[in-house]
A and B are shown apart, each in its own frame.
Chain A
Amino acid sequence: MKVIKIDKKKWAEGLNKLRAAYQLIGPVKKDTYHDFQVLDKDQLPDFDFLNTRMSPKSIAFPQSEVMLQYSLDEAKEDHHIMKEVQKDASPRAVFGIRPCDAKALMLVKLNFDTSDYKDPYWIQAYEASTLIGMACDNPSSTCFCTSTGCGPYNEEGLDVLMVDIGDHYLAKIISKKGEELLEKAGWKTSADDPSLIEKKKSQSEAKITSAVETKNLKDKTILDLYEAPFWEDISFSCLNCGTCTYVCPTCWCFDIQDEAHGKKGVRMRNWDSCMFPLFTLHTTGHNPRETKVHRVRQRFMHKLKYFMDKYDKGIMCVGCGRCIRLCPVNIDIRTVCDKMNNFKASC
């Protein structure tokens, strides 16, 4: 694959060229953390971060998204008809995505882009985006991507992988989309020493000290894990807030709602969370996941067992560590994963 050298002095200039063809999105420092946002004119993405606080899954799957609109005004010909909302499908370039988050988009794709069902909203936004990753050289102590089938230099899901080499970046072209973007920015110089990337990759991988063990999960039976005795202990402290699911780059659940305003209304979807009792409440009043033990078990079983059994693509976790860092009561998916992996049914 071709590797391009981008002199940092040419960085802002290239980005400015791109602004004509793309909407630029990138990590921006806010107060004490970083989050992705649409870059203002002249604004540069800031790469001085471990990872953004919220994941970039919202690029294709915003927390609240209007899907359809309708009018209840009977004077209008098309009243009571759900109509599609025109969306901005113009190209956008997303800078500074960490490899873990890019891989996460690929896992989310398994849900929104299948042979049976294609989610037009997600696919449209995803296809409009060119994803320029930023390799991770200083992983945090809660990063365990190397044991989830990912890694600090993983290329899956990215169009370009950028590596910071001090006074310049190396940009590895991964897809056609990525190649086009680099051309439009006028970054054309081939790198003299592309092997630097491999070298830095192994250095960075060596810095990841945290890991989960997943190799036994596949062979466990669902019921054994489901009935394992540790769930009460794991779920005890859980507040059943939605933090872990909302900050997770791979959680894809949503709830569809209609909201009317006078005679106009919209049908929208909002992130939902398996941690909330309302998530599974039936109209009869029955709730199949009535207690928090049920709900906590569901989250971990989905991520670490059901997903693996259904798709055979490893676990539904890329090891970004957000849920660990932001959980108000320190429930740690690494501990839970190890418990599940090492569990031996008593009979």
Chain B
Amino acid sequence: MGIEPGRIQFSWISSAESTKFVQVVNEVTKTIKALGPNKNFVKRPVAETVSKVA
């Protein structure tokens, strides 16, 4: 639907897998930072978006 690959990630981490947790968090942060802020799905102030005449 137009969300860049990498912005949504899923992982299955047991409470015992602390190293995997750190590794995944680091990877996710790195990917998302590289992608930059999400422009889509951010609602702009309504006043800007609903001024259609007809």
Contact = CB atoms under 8 A, between A and B. Distances in A.
B47 interface: yes
Contacts of A65: 50
Contacts of B53: 25, 36-38, 58-59, 62
B54 A268 contact: no
Contacts, number: 42
Interface stretch (A162-170, A258-266, A274-282): A258-266
A14 interface: no
Nearest to A28: B54
A62 B43 contact: no
Contacts of A266: 45-47
A38 B46 CA distance: 20
Interface residues of A, number: 21
> What range describes how many residues of B lie at the interface?
10 to 19
Contacts of A264: 45
Interface string A41-63: 00000000000001010110011
A35 B47 contact: no
Contact of A268 (B43, B44, B46, B52): B46
16 contacts: A35-B54, A36-B53, A37-B54, A38-B53, A58-B53, A58-B54, A59-B54, A62-B54, A65-B50, A66-B46, A66-B51, A69-B47, A259-B46, A261-B43, A261-B45, A268-B46
